[in-house]
Amino acid sequence: MSFTITLRAGPARVASQLLTKPSTTMRAFHQSTAKNTFTSRTAAFRANTNKTSSNILSRLQGASRGYQSGGYAYADPAARRKELIRKAITGGAIFGGTLVAINVMFNGESREAMPAFERSYLNQTFMHTGLGVGIIGLTAYQMVQSGFVYRLMVTNPWVVGIGGLALSIGSMMATRAIDPDNYVPKYAAWTVFNATQAALMAPLMTMAPPALLARAGLYTLAMMGSISFVGATAKQDKYLYLGGPLLAGVAVVAVSGLAPLVLPVTAVRTLAVTENLWLYGGLAVFGGFTLYDVQKVLYHARAAERGLIKKDPVNESISLELDFLNIFVRMVQILMMQQNRRK
């Protein structure tokens, strides 16, 4: 501080002090730099900033989920076991309740028995659907751990979003266009499609805790499983008429999702309505698409049995994968909203 006061006193006084007290002035300069550059408040602010930024970067870059002091609290194994049992019962209740409700409402006329070729084709489709969802989940996890998500998020988001969407649509069209007898290019294009879906889903894994993602996955499986059971046991071609209305519903849901980009921030009520329409309306629409897609699989199984088309469970699984991802995203957002309300 002595050097600063000397500068404010003027050039003449600076010259006189340099001639009379050179050692004192130089020593005061060095001491003031060492002592007063960082105050206690500045150091605390820098420590908090570095801690926050390091936590965000470590999660995005996948550097570690380190064992930091104070970061983890001891969890009683008995309490954790009770919590897991409670969540399993909740998931089972959701599955059973959804199954009974949908079966009563939509499945009044069920057929007697499913032919063997339909059951086999449906099982192959569900196997490819589960494999595709597993590839998406594992690839998204590796993208988070390797830091690929961080590099995506620091890039221009419009370029990433539009490029990822174009690559996703292109790989999906390529997969559908390849003949099912060409196994290698068929599964290669399908793998690229799953990888693009993982890149679009990976940022969600950095925003939600793992426990919440697991609950959302459990609820999604319960919802899709119950709806698929209804679609498989319903009367033949009963829900194939839903294709047109569901496409219209998807258009409405898509427009409501783009509403925050157009509407002003002051339109709070309108934004709340569009958000609810995107969340809960999207759940209803993609639940209906699950019902429609399962019946479409059975319809294609009968056509393939008659020799009209070739069996292609890979193409059938793409539609069910998209249904799963859209329902899963909305489940995650609904659970995150509920968690924020409790705080």
- The pLDDT of residue 45 is 43
Task: Note whether 114 and 12 are same-domain residues.
Answer: no
The structural domain count of the chain equals: 2
189: in domain: yes
* Residues facing residue 110 across a β-bridge: 234
Helices (H), the chain: 2-9, 11-20, 22-36, 40-61, 77-106, 116-146, 148-154, 157-177, 183-207, 210-233, 243-262, 268-276, 282-305, 313-342
Contact in structure between 231 and 245 (CB atoms under 8 Å):
no
Tell me, yes or no, whether 18 lies in a domain.
yes
- Tell whether the model's pLDDT for residue 175 goes beyond 70: yes
Residues 101 and 249 in one domain: yes
Please state, rounded to an integer, the average pLDDT across all residues of the chain. Answer: 75
Q: Is residue 5 pLDDT above 50, yes or no?
A: no
Span 160-164, average pLDDT = 80
Do 86 and 28 share a domain, yes or no? no
Looking at the structure, do residues 192 and 334 belong to the same domain, yes or no?
Answer: yes
**Cα–Cα nearest to 150, from 196, 202, 195, 194:** 202
Is residue 67, in this structure, part of any structural domain at all? no
Q: Where is pLDDT greater, at 232 or 2?
A: 232
125's CB contacts (< 8 A; 6+ apart) are 297, 313, 316, 317, 320
Residue 45 lies in a domain: no
In a domain, 97, yes or no: yes
* Number of residues assigned to the chain: 343
- pLDDT tens-digit series, residues 78-97: 776 676 677 667 666 665 66
Query: If DSSP states are collapsed to H, E and C, what string results for 128-186?
Result: HHHHHHHHHHHHHHHHHHHCHHHHHHHCCHHHHHHHHHHHHHHHHHHHHHCCCCCHHHH
Shared domain check, 251 and 152: yes
What is the full DSSP assignment across 249-273? Answer: HHHHHHHHHHHHHHS-TT-HHHHHH
Binned at pLDDT 50, 70 and 90, residue 325 comes out as very high
> Quick one: CA dihedral 268, 270, 273, 279, positive or negative?
negative
Radius of gyration, CA atoms only, the chain = 30
Are 103 and 19 members of one domain?
Answer: no
- 188-245 pLDDT, tens digit per residue, is 999 999 999 998 888 888 888 888 999 899 999 989 988 888 888 887 777 777 777 8
pTM summary value: 0.67
Do 103 and 225 lie in a common domain?
Answer: yes
Residue 220 to residue 324: CA distance in whole angstroms: 7
Q: What percentage of residues in the chain have a pLDDT greater than 70?
A: 68
Same domain assignment for residues 92 and 235: yes
Domain coverage including residue 12 = 1-32
Q: Which of 22-26, 48-52, 317-321 has the lowest mean pLDDT?
A: 22-26
In a domain, 156, yes or no: yes
Please indicate whether residue 160 or residue 115 has the higher confidence score (pLDDT). Answer: 115
20 with 90, same domain? no
Buried b (16+ CB within 10 A) or exposed e, 166-197: ebbeebbebbbebeeeeeeebeebbebbbbbb
Most confident of 46-60, 106-120, 193-207, 318-332: 318-332
Residue 75 counted as domain residue: no
Q: From CA 287, how far away is CA 299, in angstroms rounded?
A: 19
Q: Could you tell me if residue 44 is inside a domain?
A: no
Residue 238's pLDDT is 78
Question: Are both 249 and 334 inside the same structural domain?
Answer: yes
Same domain as 25, residue 97: no
Q: Give the tokens for residue 24.
A: 């004192």
Q: Are 224 and 101 in contact (CB under 8 A)?
A: no
Mark whether 11 and 89 lie in a shared domain.
no
